[in-house]
Structure 1
Amino acid sequence: MEMTLNYSGAFCELGCDELEGVNGGVDWNGVGLGVSMTAGGIIGAKIGALGGVPGVAAGTIIGAAVGGILYSLWD
């Protein structure tokens, strides 16, 4: 596999495809986002369970969204 380095002023940058090659073909950003959204959904569902079935559904959706947002801000 050929990798290209893009020279931009003071540093070189790998593109996403090249970076996945360096990481062994694993998109670790996607893995991290998936884990945080899953954890957020589980926590949200447990909190939402206090409000019954609609609370579980809403808690899962909101928890997953919050997990994704927090991961994006941290990344």
Structure 2
Amino acid sequence: MSRVCQLTGTRANNGMAVSHSHIRTKKLQQANLQQRRLWWAEGNRWLKLRVSTRALKTIQKKGLGVYAKSLGIDLNKI
């Protein structure tokens, strides 16, 4: 399974690791993804999603159904 948030599409970012002598090497900054079982009230069922922690905070604030609708995601297909 790829490391991509199922709601927001957040994925790894290319970056540079810089040493003390300022030698740069490429590195990947992975998204902070968590596997969570979330209750979807409108669908009256549990959904097992791989979401970023930023998305989890927004889900806690707005609710899963409202947040998915604002992103244009149909939770019935997940």
**What is the TM-score when the length of structure 2 is the normalising length?**
0.29
Relative to the length of structure 1, the TM-score reads 0.30
Of Structure 1 and Structure 2, the greater helix share is in 1
Larger radius of gyration: 1
